[in-house]
Amino acid sequence: MRIIIITGMSGSGKSTAVRALEDEGYYCIDNLPVRLFKRFVELIDKSGESFQGIVLVADIRGKEFFKGYELAFKKIVNAGHTVEIFFFDTLDDILVRRYSETRRRHPADEDCSVSEAIVLERERLSVLRSLATRVIDTSDFTVHQLKELVLRIVRGDEQNNQLAIEVQSFGFKYGVPLESSIVMDVRFLPNPFFIPELKEGTGIDDSVRDYVLDNVTSAQFLEYFFPLLDMLLPAHLKEGKSYLTISIGCTGGRHRSVAIAEATGMHLQELWPSVRIIHRDIEKGLK
């Protein structure tokens, strides 16, 4: 049976990964005492229930975990099971921000600040991190991006040109998406907002799309932009990237950026197997 150990820094996205694996058919259990690992695996194995595998979440909350995890893993392997360790990590400043937003108490907190607790946790997890089958840095991931990556990993289809690409439109007035890998400003293109019969529409509508795309400036821009992406994406894949977010922005995120994002997504879908197009601010653009 496939056994996946989910561990890593608090606030790094472990819960998101567990929910994705539950939906995939894995039996998941959180914070099980380490002395019960082998027994739990045996019970599931003998139950006759059909699961893709077992996911055990173990981290700094289980104080005794650090005293016996290596032996527990060895016993499970000796029983004929495959054990994989997924270590989830995130940059310290992002972890601090996440805790400040949720106002949750850090589980490693021993009368110290969140920053100090993160340093303490990282020290305690250092050996486990070195043993990990997979280290997943979630610093630049949205929730749905992380879920998709985890599923691609467990399904075994993250290799062979499997760069997952997200093309999203946005409005600069609402802020640049933090998860962006590449940002393109298209506010220099003709704006349908100032055309009365087009103002209420969006870049998905034929009339708005044609207005944005059917002019010399847009044609010249795409003539340079598409080849640039065709060069950059393989370079990102070669560098080890598994997920790339291309954010295209205009003022309100309703007209120009939507039309260009749609055109960009369609272009990339001809070459890349996994392209997702979203429009973050399309409903806000008239407000």
In the chain, residues under CATH classification 3.40.50.300 are 2-155
Contact 64, 35 (CB under 8 A): yes
pLDDT (0 to 100) of residue 16: 92
pLDDT (0 to 100) of residue 157: 65
pLDDT (0 to 100) of residue 65: 64
pLDDT digits (tens, 9 = 90+) for 211-245: 999 999 999 999 999 999 999 998 887 776 778 89
* pLDDT > 90? residue 128: no
Instruction: Considering only CA atoms, give the Rg of the chain.
Output: 23
| Residue scoring higher pLDDT (5 or 69) | 5
pLDDT digits (tens, 9 = 90+) for 248-280: 999 999 999 999 999 999 999 988 888 999 999
pLDDT digits (tens, 9 = 90+) for 131-180: 888 899 888 788 888 888 888 888 876 555 467 899 999 999 999 998 89
Q: Which of 79, 34, 74, 82 is nearest to 57 (CA)?
A: 34
In CATH terms, is domain 2-155 a member of 3.30.565.10? no
Q: Which of 264, 247, 278, 259 is nearest to 191 (CA)?
A: 259
Q: Which of 208, 190, 196, 214 is nearest to 254 (CA)?
A: 208
pLDDT (0 to 100) of residue 102: 66
- Split at pLDDT 50, 70, 90, the class of 110 is low
**Residue 218 neighbours by CB distance under 10 Å:** 21
pLDDT digits (tens, 9 = 90+) for 18-34: 999 998 889 898 888 88
* pLDDT > 80? residue 49: no
pLDDT (0 to 100) of residue 286: 60
